[in-house]
Amino acid sequence: MTRIRFSGCVLSLDDEAPRYAEASISRVSGARYDGVADWYDREFATGELAAAPRETAVRLLGEGAGKLLDVGCGTGAHTAAFGEHGWDVVGVDISEDQLRLARERGVEVVQADVAALPFDDASFDAVISMWTHTDVDDFSALLREAARVLRADGPFVYVGAHPCFVGPHSGFISAEGVPELHPGYYWRTERHTEAPGISPQGLRAKVGATHLPLGHFLQAFPDAGFRLERFEELKNREYPYTVALRCRR
């Protein structure tokens, strides 16, 4: 078996492990955030609403104690912060436009589909992911891959949009005021670009959003082999726009 080390990962060139080649060639074209990365980084990844979720992720993760994988790292704004806390961190994302900004921040990155990570089993001491369950088409696949590359008993931290108050069913622009809930959307798990809870000028009108009801969202973690250790709703608003979890496998 021939192996190649690339951006912190080991690639196997045999019949069963062309993971990186498949992700980088057949799946990367047309990544949803390509073309909006600079706007997204300015308005969201480094904006006011990003600070509390990032601080929560750092707290749940703890100080660095080895290799960390950031799944769906985007522009690397959060990934760089994890590195500042002692982690040897690698970010993975499908959007080359976002990874361009991550590289400018000095983050080590790999371009790949998060549903087919190009890393060996149990190759990371910790895994983290932020804001991805509303972006990916198959969050369960992301969680299964996160569990696969995580060493036994290692922490997996997830921070993302609150399924009850953020989504196509909820008008909650900039997480201000009282969410305005709309019938007929909460149980719909397909991808949306238009809905009562999606601002025509906002992020989700540009890249779309996948919605998971709270029960579907929570059940995905044990289904992927994780055991839930902690669950939090951020209290920085009257109605929370963020949930945070720490699990282990």
> Tell me, what's the pLDDT at 65?
83
In this prediction, residue 182 carries a pLDDT of 97
User: Which helix H or strand E contains 81, and what residues bound it?
Assistant: helix 77-83
Helices 139-149 and 214-223: crossing angle, nearest 10°? 30
What per-residue confidence (pLDDT) applies to 1?
32
Q: What is the CATH topology of the domain spanning 3-248? A: Rossmann fold (3.40.50)
Question: 3-state DSSP call for residue 103?
Answer: helix
Given this model, what pLDDT does residue 57 score?
98
Helix (H, G, I), strand (E, B) or coil at 196: coil
pLDDT computed for residue 30 by the predictor:
63
pTM: 0.88
Cβ atoms of 129 and 155 within 8 Å: the answer is no
Per-residue pLDDT of the chain (249 residues), as tens digits, is: 333 333 334 333 333 333 332 333 233 336 999 999 999 999 999 988 999 999 999 999 999 889 999 999 999 999 999 999 999 999 999 999 999 999 999 999 999 999 999 999 999 999 999 999 999 999 999 999 999 999 999 999 999 999 999 999 999 988 999 999 999 999 999 999 999 999 998 999 999 999 999 999 999 999 999 999 999 999 999 999 999 999 998
Residue 155 to residue 108: CA distance in whole angstroms: 21
pLDDT of res. 66: 97
Q: Which residues contact 248 (CB under 8 A, 6 or more apart)?
A: 153, 154, 155, 156, 226, 227, 229
Q: Taking the domains of the chain in order of start, what are their residue ranges?
A: 3-248
